[in-house]
Chains A and B, each alone.
Chain A
Amino acid sequence: MAPRRTHSIISFVGIIFVWELAVRLFHVSPFKFPGPARVGSALWQMCMSGELFHHVVASLYRVTWGYYLAVAVAVPLGLLLGSWRGARNIMNPLIQFLRPISPLAWIPVALIWFGIGDRPAIFLIFLSAFFPMVVFTMSGVQGVRRTYLRVADNFGLTGIRRYVKVVLPASMPEIVVGLRITLGTAWLVIVAAEMIAVKSGLGYLIVDARNALRMDRVIAGMIVIGIIGLSLDYLICQIEGIPYVQWSRQRR
């Protein structure tokens, strides 16, 4: 672990150094590409004024709502579709058709349905997370070892117990992969969603800074987005430590 951490520090320090050097050496205009010193000071200013905090909270708020709603609907639906063939045959073509439509293509629809404010953004996050999550859960359920289902039958686990004790944990490995990938997608989409219809959030921050020709603030915003994306990924990985989830990793 230690050498790996050292490596990542070296790579980040290295890129900052090269970046600053290049900007100074070639006299790049700060309106086109400011150096790390300018970006750093813009970041510092935004931190101190509380402005950055405000935008981060706004973005996280929307992502959280959209993502949780999507997971709350998609996982049960995926469990149902995965184990009920008739429903799957009806719903699956529809899901597969809607899935490749980018959430960004839904922006006009979102605006007309939900107007202005948090709700269209939350709706877009929901869409971006919902379809992949259904598909991951569904395929997780379909891949459950037959023996486990037979154990459930044999010990008389029926109805909701069957799902809680057997089907859900057995498909958990794939669901967790879905949760992780989907959270990443949701975070990608929120920035785009915030470029329209709202006056807060990191996406708005970037558009607003561009309109003011403040490239330093644009890049500072991008860096913050990267850092939060990494942190979210780190957090979601923690659920892999729960035994209910972790079992597949430890088998042989």
Chain B
Amino acid sequence: MSKVEVRNLSKSYIERREKVRSPQNCRCQEECRVFHDLNFAVEAGSFTCFLGPSGCGKSTLLHIIAGFEKPDSGKVLIDGREVTGASPKHIFVFQEDGLLPWLTAKQNIALGARGIKDPKQREKQEQEYIEMVGLKGFEDHYPHELSGGMRRRAEVARALITNPDILYMDEPFGALDFVTRLQMREEMLNVHFMFDSTILFITHDIDEALQLGDQILVMSERPSRIKADIVLDHPHPRDLSTGELASLRKEIYFLMGLHAEL
């Protein structure tokens, strides 16, 4: 049985305002179809990347899988059971800042440690995770006092400390600078090896998906469908410039409508 199974999932928004831009390529006058009849499965313990142009409904899809939004039809099954709402076993790392700004880094991380009953154990665990993500010395800082990378790390720590069954990440490193982003990418690989969480990861960065994913789902523009479902079992670290990965990279570029490789 697959960990996450998406069956015939459809979602559309009712658009009140008429869209000004190009009515021919967007059937957005009244009902805006985000995706229609989506089907795919994700294996337990895998790292799955959703790759697609911005605005293609990746976030909506992940929000539905996480139980924050309801689909119009179809269903999401996790461990064979239909998702009806959010669960503390499946933690979401948000695209925008998901840290609560009125809590310090440590207090935010403590939100994830609420399940641990023994206070000593909890304290120890919190300290451990703060150190793991390199926030030692910053635990009493408020989110606005941390750099963008540190905020992301704190949010990831808050998710990991719950030892989540599934980790949802919605373009978590999109707002970071190039170098920090590469660092975070590396750290995500470590996370993937150290924890047995199933990871569902949204990105619009082709190389990021190729570096991280065990499975890549390439999505099209709205109304979105799965253009390709690619399984990778290449060892890490991956070299994208030669061999099979290089041709796969070209193929994905092509799938996303980019003909010339930049």
Interface residues of A (CB under 8 A from B): 147-148, 150-151, 153-157, 165-166, 169-170, 172, 243-245, 247-248, 250-252
Contacts and interface: CB of A to CB of B under 8 A. Distances in A.
B64 to A, nearest CB: 13
Interface residues of B, number: 24
Given A156-B88, A156-B114, A251-B144, A151 B100 contact: yes
B85 A153 contact: yes
Contacts of B178: none
B111 A243 contact: no
A247 B88 CA distance: 26
A251 B86 contact: no
Interface in B134-183: 142, 144-145, 162
Contacts of A172: 102
Contacts of B66: 154
Interface of B: 66-68, 85-88, 90-92, 94, 96-98, 100-102, 111-112, 114, 142, 144-145, 162
Contact of B142 (A151, A157, A250): A250
A148 B103 CA distance: 12
A-B pairs with the 5 shortest C-beta distances? A156-B88, A153-B86, A169-B102, A247-B101, A247-B102
B86 A154 contact: yes
A244 to B, nearest CB: 5
A155 B112 CA distance: 7
A247 B97 CA distance: 14
B194 to A, nearest CB: 21
Nearest to A153: B86
Given A153-B68, A156-B114, A169 B100 contact: yes
A154 B90 CA distance: 8
**Chain B facing A: main interface SS:** loop
Given A150-B86, A154-B92, A250 B98 contact: no
Contacts of B111: 151, 155, 157, 165
Contacts of A151: 94, 98, 100, 111
A202 B102 CA distance: 40
Contact of B92 (A148, A150, A165): A150
A132 to B, nearest CB: 24
Given A153-B85, A153-B86, A155-B112, A243 B102 contact: yes
B114 A155 contact: yes
Nearest to B145: A250
A172 B103 CA distance: 13
Contacts of B97: 147
A251 B101 contact: yes
A153 B145 CA distance: 25
A164 B53 CA distance: 39
A153 B84 CA distance: 12
Contact of B100 (A156, A166, A250): A166
Given A154-B66, A154-B92, A243-B142, A147 B98 contact: yes
Nearest to A151: B98
Contacts of B162: 155
B85 A148 contact: no
A154 B142 contact: no
A188 to B, nearest CB: 32
Nearest to A146: B68
A248 B143 CA distance: 11
A220 to B, nearest CB: 44
Contacts of B100: 148, 151, 165-166, 169-170
B146 to A, nearest CB: 12
A169 to B, nearest CB: 4
Contacts of A243: 102, 142
Contacts of A148: 100
A170 B114 CA distance: 20
B100 to A, nearest CB: 6
A252 B98 contact: no
B101 A150 contact: no
A150 B94 contact: yes
Contacts of A155: 88, 91, 111-112, 114, 162
A252 B148 CA distance: 12
B52 to A, nearest CB: 21
A125 to B, nearest CB: 30
Nearest to A157: B111
A147 B86 CA distance: 13
B144 A247 contact: yes
Contacts of A252: 144
